[in-house]
Structure 1
Amino acid sequence: MTGRPPRSAQHSAAPAPRSPTRCSVALRLAGRMLRFPAYCAAALRAALDGAPHPVADLPLDDDEDRLVPARRLLTEGLVVPAPSGLP
């Protein structure tokens, strides 16, 4: 999957700053906000950095943990499947 660059200054797909007391991480989008558990922050940064990443390489503990944010990012249109043959 490949992260899409923001469409405008109001559309920021970067995770909100980290806080030691934060239980979740939020992605601010035009008109809405997506929340993920705080442990997904590193995986979200990786998925949204614009480079192709196999879901299996996202820095989470197991495949199920990797699939949940990947599917949600795909559903929301924040990432797209990479063409086959790319790492």
Structure 2
Amino acid sequence: ALQALVTDARRTAEPLVALEPERPFRPHLTVARSRSAHGDFLLGRCRSALARGLQGAFVLRDVGLVKSDTLASGAVHTEIARWTLAERS
């Protein structure tokens, strides 16, 4: 589903803005990040729990387009846009 979203977004944006050359897209959802290259104890525990599988459901209320710049000091994430998909109840 994420790949289809990217394909549709590129198709829609192409007539409006100059896009970077297409790079392979690896669909993913970032759940957590660690600043340490050696990992983080609590993040490791979360990873172990997630590896056993997720159960339940969630409501996706909005989607954000985030630009990532990798610098020597670490990644800098800048929100470009946000779209509301479902109103909060």
TM-score range, shorter chain: under 0.3
TM-score, scaled relative to structure 1? 0.25
Kindly indicate which of the two structures has a greater share of residues assigned to helix. 1
Kindly indicate which of the two structures has a greater share of residues assigned to strand. 2
| Structure having greater relative contact order (Cα 8 Å, sep ≥ 6) | 1
Q: Report which of the two structures shows the higher radius of gyration computed on alpha carbons.
A: 2
